[in-house]
Structure 1
Amino acid sequence: MKTLLKAVQILDVSSPFHKQIRDVLLEGNKILKIDKDLSKKETYEIYEANDLVLSPAFFDPNVHFGEPGFEERETITNGLKVAAESGFSEIALVASTQPVIDQAYLIENLQQKTRNSKVKIHLVSALTQGLKGEDLAELFEMHNYGAIGFSDDDSPIQNANLMKLALQYTQSFNGLVHSFPAEKNILGKAQVHESPTSTLLGLKAAPSLAETLQISRDLAILKYTGGRLHIPLISTKEAVKLINNAKEDGLNVSCSVSINQLFFTDERLNEFDTNFKLFPPLREKVDQEALISGVLDGTIDFVTSHHRPINIEHKFLEFEHATSGSIGLESYFGAMNTLFGTEKSLEIIQRSRDVYNLNKPVIKEGNEIAMNLINPKLEWCFTKNEITSKSKNSIFLNENLLGKVIQNFY
């Protein structure tokens, strides 16, 4: 069956039709024809409405589901359904499962389980065995089985020599080492960011120094060793400055930020809503502004949904005892579009593939389909009715958002 998209604006910087309004005819998994006015036929499935946008599908390299080991949070089957409905044709799962994805055969098992999914799964597998930060995992073997990076998730690598060895060893196969930006001794048992808000609320807090000290150490090691370093989920104005300086010095470093940090500040903690308990924690307005500027000028390479399902019994607790994390796939585009507008949002979203050396889908005749049909002007409220995820722990609950993926083709 053929599908006809009438008068859609194509927003794809890699496409010869970028910013143009065109009809797009699809057949099977291919883009059959792109032209100004394609004839309708009764046998076509037709999408026609004012102001629709066609974009390449999304990729998020920082996604948690739960399975294997934590299926009560999210299963792979349902998680992939959520990803598809939210506009993601590719995701990368983080290795903090049970068992930890620290061996090549575990990657193969997940690939076999998801081989028929229309959403492609990549793995950011464990950097150290069991995420314990003591010994390097089977990095080369996992790379050969398709791991696109190595990370201990939100467990910082405390051993500086281990980080040095990781950066040296992975250069032989151009591997990407992740290092979560938190100095654990300074972080301690902090619940939130150290600020006037934390003082007012009486919560245990840690300063931005916990983040920037770790980043400074890792950048110093990178300067010594060479290699490729990714710093995920930065959250402070000082981090933006450090990474900008490192890039200007020629270091091969990339970084990301969570959409949560761009949309909210720690002022939202006043009601002790555990959906706002995150790691890294929400920061102050000055940090938020610096992060947004860093995204716009390219210092921050991409924005992630930081999708982290947490089952209700770990969220429905006093703030101090609740687990950090928020789901994010379903609210991601609406939040991005609200902050940056449609054209800029889509340009930012596509940058994540560059960091992981993945091919970008391009809207062009003859190419395989990996596209989203978007209503960029749709105003909507993100309620529990919008959540397909098994866990419902969303920081965006009851937020008004602008723009939504209404159909995907992949």
Structure 2
Amino acid sequence: MSSFLLKSAKILDPESSYHLQTKDILVEDGVITKIEDSLLNADQILSFKNLHVSCGFFDSSVSFGEPGFEERETLANGVITARKSGFTSFLLNPNLNPVTDTNSAVKFLQQQIDPQLIDIKPLGALTKGFDGKNLAELYDMQMAGAVGFYDFKTPVADANLFKIALQYMKSFEGLLFSYPQDKYIAGRAQVNEDEFTTYIGLKGIPNLAEELQIARDLYILEYTGGKLHIPNLSTKASVELIKKAKAKGLQVTCSVALPHVFFTSDMLESFDSKYKILPPLRTQKDTEALKNAVKDGVIDMLTCDHEPMDEEHKALEFENASYGSIGLESAFSVVNTLFGAEKASELLTKPKTNFGLQTSKIDLKQRADLSLFDPDSEYTFQKQHIFSKTKNSIFLGESLKGKVFGSIYNDSFYEN
């Protein structure tokens, strides 16, 4: 029998009767067996300065590289990175090689992951190979364990295909992810269209490209019914469209990636390829609207949008570099810096419910699913804080607040 004893841990869990109390917590064989003012004995005593504990963190958009792009990230190292960063559960994107678009591909991923170490839920592709023309094995993938269907950061250009997919998935309560960008309006542009990016000579993607796609998707959703998730919102008008759709009672959820509530397109003055992400960084007006929508609950969740990219594709001139930034290692610190500890713990745990996933609770006889952190520690995020195989983090060099100590899931502890 293995056991962990957390000493003087301030509990952040509104669902727990111990919320905001500082207690000793004993975990035995993966179950919380005691929560008291003072406990003494365990196989491993975990004592950290200013220890806070919440339910395990969750993220709705994580990419690795295995199979097919192991130079970016492997499943084994990705799991270690997540656990050390406080994450015990996340959705795994299907942007692999081969693309996760069959029942067998979903099963393969699940067979590679030890469910006692982490809870990873695969997303299946919406169309075969992200071709945008032929629906993939949606029902079969859901039966195999896929929790949604997403052509990763590839817009569904065919409105009729989008309509048919929503209608078909209603029969088994499937969840459709739709990346919000009209590819014809976006064209080959790589940054936001605004006065600053025009001044520095970069061709821009107008906000219209995102907002037109969202408006189309919501209009079709109102016609068909079904469930829709729109990831990576990035504009003020997009927030208003979602707000109106929810007021109508449509089953729609949405997310915003952390860079879009932290940075603006002004960062592009350096032409540093670490700022090249999709959607592109927007204006201060958009960033403020997104942060307010997170606080108000119009935006359902934040995502670190973890997307490893090897140096050969990232460390290039801006126009030739690939998109993407890793985000697991910096996620808690960024959210805590922007919103504070209590809101951060809520934003990093509550979104599970949007995908019908089992939630946890810090209480007696509950399975141990815990993130450990100090919300007051301040530091500058550097490469030494990165566990991923690639180091393409947009947050390198940023002053952040909040340090993760690690995570406990079942009977395992991963220390940062």
Moved over 6 A (4+): none
- Give distance in 2, aligned partners of 1:75 and 1:45: 29
Query: What are the superposed Cα offsets for residues 313-369 of structure 1, whole Å, 9 maximum, x if unpaired?
Result: 111111111111000000000000000000011111223202101111111111111
Alignment of 1:240-255 (within 5 A): 240-255=239-254
Give the aligned partner of residue 19 of structure 1: 20
Deviation for aligned residue 1:50: 4.3
TM-score by length of 2: 0.96
Match of 1:190 in 2: 189
Letter in 2 for 1:71: E
Q: Is the aligned partner of 1:4 residue 2:5?
A: yes
Normalised to the residue count of structure 1, the TM-score between the two structures is 0.98
CA distance in 2, matches of 1:117, 1:371: 14
Q: 2:379 aligns to what? A: 380
Q: Which moved further from structure 2: 386-395 or 108-117?
A: 108-117
Tell me what 1:37 maps to. Answer: 38
Tell me if the contact between 1:11 and 1:343 (Cα under 8 Å) persists in the aligned partners.
yes
CA RMSD of aligned residues (A): 1.1
Cα distance per residue 1:250-287 (max 9 Å; x no partner): 11100000011011111111100000001000000000
1:54 touches 1:371 (CA, 8 Å); kept in 2?
yes
Equivalent positions of 1:230-269 (< 5 A) are 230-269=229-268
The yes-or-no answer on 1:208 pairing with 2:221 is: no
Identity of aligned residues (%): 47
Distance of 2:7 and 2:315 partners within structure 1: 46
User: Partners of 1:2 and 1:180 in 2: how far apart?
Assistant: 44
Alignment partner, residue 143 of structure 2: 144
Residues 191 and 204 of structure 2 are in contact (CA less than 8 Å); yes or no, is this contact kept in structure 1? Answer: yes
Instruction: Please name the residue that 1:367 is paired with.
Output: 366
Partner of 1:407, secondary structure, is strand
Provide the C-alpha distance between the structure 1 equivalents of 2:185 and 2:321, rounded to a whole number of angstroms.
Answer: 21
CA contact (8 A) 1:72 1:311 kept: yes
Q: Is the contact made by 1:301 and 1:351 (CA closer than 8 Å) also made in structure 2? A: no
Matches within 5 A, 1:296-307: 296-307=295-306
Code of the residue aligned with 1:201 in structure 2: it is I
TM-fit CA distance, 1:115: 2.9
| Matched position secondary structure for 2:209 | helix
Corresponding residue for residue 272 of structure 1: 271
Deviates more, 1:246-255 or 1:22-31: 22-31
The match for 2:172 is: 173
CA contact 2:83–2:406 (8 Å) conserved in 1: no
Aligned to 1:96: 95
**Equivalent pair of 2:23/2:37 in contact (CA under 8 Å):** yes
Q: Please give the alpha-carbon distance, in whole angstroms, between the structure 1 residues aligned to 2:218 and 2:165.
A: 13
Matches of 1:223 and 1:27 in 2, distance apart? 49
**19-28 or 63-72: which moved more?**
19-28
Which residue in 2 is equivalent to 1:28?
A: 29
Q: Match of 1:218, SS? A: helix
Q: Partner letter of residue 11 of structure 1?
A: L
Q: Tell me which residue corresponds to 2:404.
A: 405
Contact map agreement 1:179 1:231 (CA 8 A) in 2: yes
**Rounded Cα–Cα distance in structure 2 between residues aligned with 1:184 and 1:116:** 38
**Matched residue SS, 1:125:** coil
> 1:347-394: per-residue Cα shift (whole Å, max 9, x none)?
112232021011111111111111011111111111111111001100
What's 1:392 paired with? 391
Q: Secondary structure at the match of 2:358?
A: coil
Q: Does structure 1 retain, via aligned residues, the 8 Å contact 2:10–2:52? A: yes
Which ranges in structure 2 are unaligned for 5 or more consecutive residues? Answer: 410-416
